[in-house]
Amino acid sequence: MAASARRGPYFCGIDAAMDVVSGKWKPLILWELHDHGIRRFAELRRGLPGVSEKMLVQHLREMEEDGLVRREVYPEVPPKVEYSLTEHGVSLNAALTSLGEWGTERMRRIGAEKVSVG
């Protein structure tokens, strides 16, 4: 508890949306889940080069709380947990596409590099 002071009050819609997406890895998680449909914890970890397990768990939990991500646990002996997007997660992703295009255009403009997976 005392985890987050989220859920407003907000200045505007942008503010409310940013609250949910702010976090170093959240847009990437969103994209990864949108791209693959369903991902297990370790798959996500491998898909986000550089993320720590702590942050991945933490972000996933917050996104679950915010209704963006669905978490399904299989009570098997080697643990198995599957993550996927809810309809709200999907629609958020859609709302982010134009921003993504703007960012891509900006990267082109300023000649920024992409992070390499190494």
Q: Which residues bind to a second copy, rule: CB under 8 A?
A: 7-18, 20-22, 27-28, 31, 88, 91-92, 94-107, 110, 112-116
- Distance CA(69)–CA(61), nearest Å, equals 8
In the bound complex, what is the minimum distance in angstroms from residue 19's beta carbon to a second copy? 8
- Distance CA(55)–CA(92), nearest Å, equals 21
23 or 34: CB nearest DNA: 23
Residue 11 interacts with which of DNA, a second copy, none, CB < 5 to 8 Å by class: a second copy
Residue 57 interacts with which of a second copy, DNA, none, CB < 5 to 8 Å by class: DNA
Token couple for 28 = 């990437």
- Cβ atoms 83, 75 nearer than 8 A: no
Residue 106 interacts with which of DNA, a second copy, none, CB < 5 to 8 Å by class: a second copy
Give the binding range for DNA (CB under 7 A) out of 16-24, 27-35, 89-97, 101-109: 16-24
Output phi, psi for 29, to 5 deg: -60, -45
Angle at 116 between CA 112 and CA 117, to 5 degrees: 155
Distances 117 to 26, 56, 60 between C-alpha atoms, Å: 18, 17, 22
Which positions lie near DNA, rule CB under 7 A?
4-5, 22-25, 40-43, 50-55, 57, 61, 71, 73, 77-81
